[in-house]
């Protein structure tokens, strides 16, 4: 043998792992049967969080460059895909914990106060690394739950707040892309003209539709006006920056325009991998949103309207955080600005060539 022999259980530290389930119910008298399940489920979550952090930290490091190396984008996408597969497992694990009934949980729940899943420092690290800074959290998160953390964990999160988040690195990467004006071709002016024509045509269709009542027409026109306003803000740098300063949008206008261009011309060879990266970030955010939502439903099922063990309002807080704590909502909102492929401005041959595979012997 080339290396020293190793034994399976020693390599995996199974004695430590399998001996790490200490039941509080047993310490206080009689064993609550489902407490073992409860502990193992949460320990497993933490192991998967560790792997997600391991993958995401490597992705972060590859992105934390003045220029992101194009050859690294494939690795980044591969590791994002792995995170998403892990997230699927996290969501499926909720099916297992839901085999525990509220009465089963009540047998040991009081022994857990004031411990709470909100004290999962690894999950907090994942959220913060992605881009969920303190200023974007619910007010309850800022004041109440941080007071439940030990000082060393608070210090870790404070230190992380000083570092750029992945969302900020993504913003810088997108903003560097030269898609605003290319070689004398002002794509965005062409795009804006097409959008205005489309919206004018939609307004004409609504107004001339005899099957709609006046009230229905008013409703449709109001919706159309909202769409017009979204496009107007996109092209008005001052208004867009006002929304960004209020935290309503997080990506810079330059980054948003680049992301829209990538989505619109996703079939161009050079844009296929960046488009896939944006889609994977949306998938990851959606998976965490689904996990939070299912966690909220599970908490309601287990606790009803009781206060959580950590002192929170239980499922009510979880419901609010489900929507509030999404990181890449700007990427979800890109769909607002997409137009049918058949209406896309045709790129000049020289630009189209630069976005494709162009090899001459």
pLDDT tens sequence across 151-170: 999 899 999 999 999 999 99
Using pLDDT thresholds of 50, 70 and 90, give the confidence band for residue 173.
very high
Distances (CA, A) of 310 to 71, 240, 305: 45, 39, 14
Q: How far apart are CA 65 and CA 181, in angstroms?
A: 24
In the chain the domains, ranked by start, together with CATH numbers, are 30-177+252-327 (1.20.58.480)
Using pLDDT thresholds of 50, 70 and 90, give the confidence band for residue 184.
confident
- Cα angle 150, 153, 158 (rounded to 5 degrees) comes to 125
Q: What is the DSSP track for 64-90?
A: SSSS--GGGHHHHHHHHHHHHHHHHHH
More confident residue, 126 or 137: 126
Q: Is the pLDDT of residue 209 over 70?
A: yes
Find out whether 307 and 313 touch, Cβ atoms under 8 Å: yes
Classify the phi-psi angles of 304: left when phi > 0, otherwise alpha if psi is within -120 to 50, otherwise beta.
left
Nearest partner of 49 among 157, 123, 119, 154, judged by Cα: 123
Find out whether 115 and 148 touch, Cβ atoms under 8 Å: no
In angstroms and rounded to an integer, the radius of gyration of the C-alpha atoms of the chain is: 25
pLDDT, averaged across the chain: 89
Distances (CA, A) of 357 to 53, 71, 136, 341: 35, 15, 41, 21
Q: Is the pLDDT of residue 72 over 90?
A: yes
The pLDDT score that the predictor gives to residue 311 is: 46
Distances (CA, A) of 84 to 81, 137, 287, 324: 5, 23, 7, 20
Say which range, 236-240, 283-287, 355-359, has the weakest mean pLDDT. Answer: 355-359
- Residue 209 tokens read as 């539709």
- Residue 81 tokens read as 């895909």
Question: 315-324 vs 269-303: helix axis angle to the nearest 10?
Answer: 170
Q: Is the pTM here over 0.75, yes or no?
A: yes
Residue found by looking up tokens 């209406």 in the block = 343
């Amino acid at each position: 043998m080339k290396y020293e022999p190793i034994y399976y259980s020693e390599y995996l530290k199974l004695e430590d792992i399998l001996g790490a389930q200490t039941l509080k119910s047993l310490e206080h008298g009689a064993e609550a049967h489902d407490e073992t399940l409860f502990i193992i489920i949460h320990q497993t979550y933490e192991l998967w969080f560790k792997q997600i952090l391991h993958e995401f930290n490597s992705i972060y490091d590859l992105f934390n460059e003045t220029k992101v190396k194009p050859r690294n984008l494939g690795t980044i996408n591969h590791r994002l895909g792995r995170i998403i597969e892990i997230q699927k497992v996290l969501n499926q694990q909720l099916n297992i914990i839901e085999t525990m009934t509220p009465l089963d949980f009540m047998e040991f729940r009081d022994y857990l106060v004031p411990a709470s899943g909100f004290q999962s420092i690894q999950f907090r690290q994942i959220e913060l690394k992605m881009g969920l800074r303190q200023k974007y959290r619910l007010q309850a998160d800022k004041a109440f739950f941080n007071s439940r953390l030990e000082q060393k964990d608070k210090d870790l999160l404070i230190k992380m707040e000083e570092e750029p988040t992945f969302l900020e690195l993504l913003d810088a990467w997108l903003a560097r892309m030269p898609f605003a004006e290319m070689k004398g071709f002002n794509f965005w002016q062409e795009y804006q003209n097409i959008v205005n024509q489309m919206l004018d045509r939609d307004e004409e269709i609504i107004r001339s539709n005899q099957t709609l009542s006046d009230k229905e027409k008013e409703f449709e026109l109001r919706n159309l006006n909202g769409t017009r306003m979204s496009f107007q803000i996109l092209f008005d740098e001052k208004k867009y920056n006002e929304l960004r300063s209020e935290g309503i949008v997080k990506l810079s206008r330059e980054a948003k325009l680049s992301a829209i261009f990538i989505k619109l011309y996703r079939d161009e060879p050079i844009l296929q991998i960046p488009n896939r990266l944006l889609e994977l970030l949306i998938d990851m955010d959606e998976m965490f949103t689904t996990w939070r939502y299912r966690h909220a439903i599970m908490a309601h099922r287990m606790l009803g309207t009781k206060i959580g063990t950590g002192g929170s309002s239980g499922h009510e807080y979880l419901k609010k955080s489900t929507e509030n704590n999404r990181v890449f909502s700007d990427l979800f909102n890109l769909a607002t600005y997409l137009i049918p492929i058949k209406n896309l401005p045709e790129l000049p041959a020289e630009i189209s060539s630069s976005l494709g595979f162009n090899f001459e012997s």
